[in-house]
Structures are given as structure tokens and as C-alpha cells.
Amino acid sequence: MVRLILLLLGVDYLRRRARALIWIGAIFFAFGLALVVDALDGVVHFPIKVFAWLLLLEGLATLAIVGIGVGGQRIVRALKGGTFTIAALLVLFFHQYNGNFWLSMLFGTLFLADGLLQCVAAHVVRYPRWKWAVGGGVLEIAVAIFFYQPYPTHYAGTLPYAIGLGLMFTGWNVLVLAMRARRMRGDFRIEQILGSPQEKRRLWRQRPGAPRWNGPPTDTEPALTVHVWTPSGSAKAPARRHPVIDRYIAAVDKNGVISTGHAALESHEGVYVSLYPAQEIDRSPDQFGQLLRATRENDVPGTFQPNYATESQAWCPSTVKVRIRNYSPQQLAVFWQAYQQNPTYNLTHRNCSSSVAKALEAAIEGRVGKLQNGEDAGWWTFVRLWLTPELWVAAQLRKRAKTMAWTPGLVLDYARAVSMLVDPRPFGWITMSSLAMRRMRRSRRAWREAEQQAAAQQLHDNTVPDAPKH
């Protein structure tokens, strides 16, 4: 999440606030460490009940706006809101030991599932620096074991452990990134700061030359468009229904042929990013497992499509479009000029979806940290971004894609979430509150009108004389 925040705000924004962010990271890390150490003896001084009520409010607020999202946003919001709500209820309304026990099982299971998924995905895909991802997954599994076993507090310190570890990881990430960024030039990108040591040494020697320059945009408004052909929507024959798999990974038609879908990015200025293998890859089930490896033996020649009109006419129109208003044509042009020099295609490491994700991030980097007139957006933008629910959604999607592979389904949900961050809308809970208030006002207006009509009718009945009787 921290890396996504810095990507959206930009290196220039970060460098101006490096000292403050270093202090914030140090305070987060120290406070988290203090919580963990405090809970080791089983005597917890942390106000757990107060935090549980706040956690319950956050969980219920997140669940309340699940219906506003689309696609994967609903799933991630429901998972986050449900986890927060269950954790708060276990603390507030269960016996202390039972609540702490089931809370430990919940946290342990979440860490174990995420760690195993990260290890398996990294081992299968084998993208560059995959061993570091395996190490991170092993660390998550170790944290899960720590939550599962009762030592040293018989589960009494479960919640302080979870909060403390979260603060420590967040503080450490903020510290490392802020300290790196303050030593970098303002024209560097976040991905370059986070790159390998060889990449950073190369950047000191050469200048990359990346100049810098609200609701969805209308069809006539200049915007960046992410085109997605979903796996089931682009299958040549009717696809077999597998709700999650054919949404995010691949669809299998009735003939057993696998369709992974496609993604492309189009700018108003004419840049079109659409990478495809020069020759169709055999995606039969027998060969598909071997193709998942992001190793060099799976690199094949690729080709970039010239424009959307040509591609859609040769194949079919995109299934879904996501349009983003706030982007930098200059940054996208610089990225595209360098990226198109290498047409290599790899099914998991350098595919159509990863190309679109990289182009999208190059185009939006730093756009949130500046106002439309180019002035600094201030600290409130940082706070607002941190509180926006779509940030958490986008961060989880990005993490999953980085540790596995970018797919058209992940790019679609990531682009939708990012569009809510770079083209800010009102907060989800504000939207829900506004809808509720409008409905209440309409109801009160209708009631008043009904009362006024009833009073007028009664007055009319009282003033009109009765008809004479014959």
C-alpha cells in the first residue's frame, strides 16, 4: 500500500517531504515495536476495547459501500470489512480467552493463506527476484505459526501483536522508501527507486529523461483508455463457467482450448500499448503449466498492435473500457518510446497485461501529488489518499499481480480502482450518507405535502356549505 501511495504521489512530492516521512516511519515502527514488546508478558496496556469499537465501525462502513464497487472491488471490500467486523466482534462480545483464541486463528489463517499463495506463485512463475518473494511468503508463514501457537501469552496478546506488526511493516516501508528517495533526483520514478542495485547504479550514470508536465470522463473528453478483453468474452467458442478462474486467470471453451483474454492501453495523443506474441502460443492444457514460468526459455518474439481500430476489426471490440482523465501524456510517451524497443513476449512476466499495467503507472505517476495548475497538493492529499477505500483494493490487486502475474482480469479491477484515486470522487461513505440524506429529505417533503393536502381538503370540506335537503 505504501508503494502504491508513493507511486500515485510521485517522487518529487516524496522528496519534498522526505524528512517528515522518515519521522512518520520511525514513529510507526517504534510504536508497533512497543506494542509487540508490551504484549509479550500477557499484561496488555493497550486500550483493546476502544480499538475494537473503531475496528467495528471501519468494518461496518466498508461493508456498507460494498455495493458501490464493481468487479473485484466488491470482493476485496467484502473481505476487508468482514475480517474487521469479525475481529471486532470476537474482542467485544466473547469471553476474553475464547475471543483471543479465535482471533489468533483468524489472523494466523490469513497470514498462512497469503504466505502459501505467494510462495507457490513465485515458485511457479519464477519472475526476476522471485526468491525474495518466497522469503516474504516464508516470513508470513512464520508469523502465522506465531499466531497459531499459544506461547508466550496463551493468545492474550493477539490483537496488540497484529496491530504492532502492521505498524512495524508500514513504518519500515515508509522509512526505506523515504531514505532512498531523498538521495535520488526528482526525475526518477518509484519503480526505478525500488529496482535492483544494478538498475539504480545505471540510473546514476544516465538520465532517463522523463519530463513532468473528477466522475468518469465523457466519451468526447480526452482521456486514457484501458481496453480489456476478458477471457470468457474473447473465447472463440462458448466457455465453461468457472466464476473466479475465468474472471482472473483463463477461460476454457467447450473444445478444451484455453483463452487468457487480452489488455491494451490507448491515449488520446495516439499512444497504443498492445503487446501480443508474433505467433500464437500453444495453450493446450498439457503445455500450459510449463508456459507459466517467467523464465527466458518461455520468451518468444512479440509484436505491438498499431492501434485499437485495427486490432478490434481483426479480432473483436474490447469487452470493457476504463477511462482515466488525470494522466501525463509526456510521461506515457517517454515510457512508450523506451518500452517498444523490446518486443519480447512472455506469458507471465512480459505479457499484454503487464505492459498495460506498467504503461498505466508511468502515465499516472505523481498526478495525485499535484494540483491541476501544477502546484503541490499539500498534506491533505496524502491523508485523503490514505483514507480512500480504493487504495487498499488497488494495493492488494497490485501485490497479487506482482507476486503471480498480471492478467486481464487483474488489470481491469486495478484500473478501475486506480481511476478512483487519480480522478477523485467523494468518499464511499459520504456518497452513501448523501443518498440516505436525499431519500430522507424526499420522504419528509412528501409527508409535508401529504399533510398540507389533507389540511387543505379538510379546510375545504369545512368551508363548503352542505347542499340543501329536499
Structure confidence at residue 279 as a pLDDT band (50, 70, 90): confident
Task: For residues 429 and 182, give the distance between their C-alpha atoms in angstroms, rounded to a whole number.
Answer: 36
In 325-380, where do the E strands start and end?
344-345
Q: Tell me, what's the pLDDT at 9?
A: 77
Structure confidence at residue 43 as a pLDDT band (50, 70, 90): low
Average pLDDT in the chain? 78
The answer, yes or no, to whether residue 240 has pLDDT greater than 90, is no
The answer, yes or no, to whether residue 100 has pLDDT greater than 70, is yes
| List of residues 6+ apart from 372 with CB closer than 8 A | none
Residues 390 and 70 sit within 8 Å (Cβ to Cβ): no
Read off the C-alpha cell for 371: 494540483
Q: Tell me, what's the pLDDT at 347?
A: 80
Q: What is the DSSP letter of 349?
A: T
Q: Tell me, what's the pLDDT at 271?
A: 94
3-state helix vs strand vs coil in the chain, percent to 5: 60, 10, 30
The answer, yes or no, to whether residue 428 has pLDDT greater than 70, is no
Size of the chain, expressed as the number of residues it contains: 470
Q: What is the pLDDT of residues 452-464, one digit of tens each?
A: 777 777 776 666 5
Crossing angle for the helix pair 389-403 and 96-125, to the nearest 10 degrees: 50
Residues 23 and 170 sit within 8 Å (Cβ to Cβ): no
Nearest to 230 by CA among 124, 71, 347, 68: 71
More confident residue, 357 or 231: 357
Q: Tell me, what's the pLDDT at 4?
A: 77
| List of residues 6+ apart from 22 with CB closer than 8 A | 174, 175, 178, 179, 182
Structure confidence at residue 264 as a pLDDT band (50, 70, 90): very high
Question: Which residues partner with 397 through β-bridges?
Answer: none
Q: Tell me, what's the pLDDT at 209?
A: 32
SS (H, E, C) 235-272: CCCCECCCCCHHHHCCEEECCCCEECCEEEEECCCCCE
Task: For residues 381 and 391, give the distance between their C-alpha atoms in angstroms, rounded to a whole number.
Answer: 13
Structure confidence at residue 210 as a pLDDT band (50, 70, 90): very low
Residues 260 and 408 sit within 8 Å (Cβ to Cβ): yes
| DSSP per-residue string spanning 423-436 | TT---HHHHHHHHH
More confident residue, 469 or 47: 47
In one letter, which amino acid is 340? Answer: Q
Q: What is the pLDDT of residues 121-133, one digit of tens each?
A: 887 777 677 788 8
b/e per residue 326-362 (b: at least 16 CB within 10 A): bbbbebbbbbbeebeeebebbbbbbbbbbbbbbbbbb
Lowest mean pLDDT among 82-96, 142-156, 203-217, 394-408: 203-217
Lowest mean pLDDT among 237-246, 298-307, 340-349, 416-425: 237-246
Task: For residues 382 and 5, give the distance between their C-alpha atoms in angstroms, rounded to a whole number.
Answer: 8
In 292-414, where do the E strands start and end?
300-304, 320-324, 344-345
> Which SS3 state, helix, strand or coil, does residue 64 take?
helix
Q: Tell me, what's the pLDDT at 211?
A: 28
Compute CA distances 123 → 50, 318, 396, 402, whole Å.
42, 32, 20, 13
Task: For residues 275 and 351, give the distance between their C-alpha atoms in angstroms, rounded to a whole number.
Answer: 7
Q: What percent of the chain has pLDDT over 70?
A: 74
Read off the C-alpha cell for 94: 466473547
Task: For residues 15 and 181, give the distance between their C-alpha atoms in angstroms, rounded to a whole number.
Answer: 6
Read off the pLDDT of each residue in 222-249 and give the average, rounded to a whole number.
75
Read off the C-alpha cell for 421: 484515486
Q: Tell me, what's the pLDDT at 199?
A: 59
Q: What percent of the chain has pLDDT over 90?
A: 15
